[in-house]
Amino acid sequence: MDESAIGARLRTLRMRQGLTGKALARSTGISASLVSRIERGNTLPSVGVLMRLARALGSPMVDLVDESPAPVVPAHAHLLARETSLDAMVVRKGERFVLIHPISKARYELLTPSLTGRHEVLELVLAPGREHASRIGAHPDGQETVVILKGQCTIRIGSLSAELGEGDAVTFDATIPHGYVNVGVDDTVLLAIVTPPHVGI
């Protein structure tokens, strides 16, 4: 889905809630001018911004980035809340927060129950021939470790690159632009541990 499609869906969801652009901006902490640019299709928002918009609209993020009706994002009431019960610490396989990236079509599943801890853990599925790259500025600080659970890929970190296979792992400064290319014939599945949490994919 491109910028204009995301913008159109954001505008539709906002209007259904009876919110003005300024009201939506106030409820998210995002500037009104950024909301306007997103709705006009002039900019592609980061995943962090999409999460804040979706949360304010009471909608799963997939409603903003994916037109398919597949129920991949269940209600996850404790996603951003601190809770102390064991249930709040467990993320069942069918209850993961899922995002299909609008550009690379990479599928991200959040394995940590909250974004309020010291790190986040994500499972990334990348189809054959697909490339996924971090957006410049998406990671303002922190470190990332990636483990290849299945398949193979080329990882690029700044001007460096390496071929990784099943079981291989790499740890790097997350502020450096980086990306992954599935060079195999099957899906590549990666596990990413990121600190601090930000979901600025």
| Domains of the chain, first to last | 3-65 (1.10.260.40), 86-195 (2.60.120.10)
> What tens-digit pLDDT sequence spans the chain (201 residues)?
556 788 888 888 888 888 899 989 988 888 999 999 889 888 877 777 887 888 788 777 667 775 544 333 344 444 444 445 676 678 888 888 787 877 788 888 888 876 667 888 999 999 999 998 876 555 667 899 999 999 999 999 999 999 999 999 999 998 898 999 999 999 999 999 988 776 544
**pTM score of the predicted model:** 0.60
pLDDT of res. 199: 52
Rounded Cα distance between 113 and 51, Å, is 15
**CA nearest neighbour of 84 among 121, 55, 120, 113:** 113
pLDDT of res. 123: 94
pLDDT of res. 69: 41
pLDDT of res. 75: 40
Q: Rounded to the nearest 5°, which phi and psi values hold at 37?
A: -65, -40
Rounded Cα distance between 67 and 1, Å, is 8
Cβ pair 131, 180 in contact under 8 A:
yes
Write the pLDDT tens digit of every residue in 125-158: 999 999 988 765 556 678 999 999 999 999 999 9
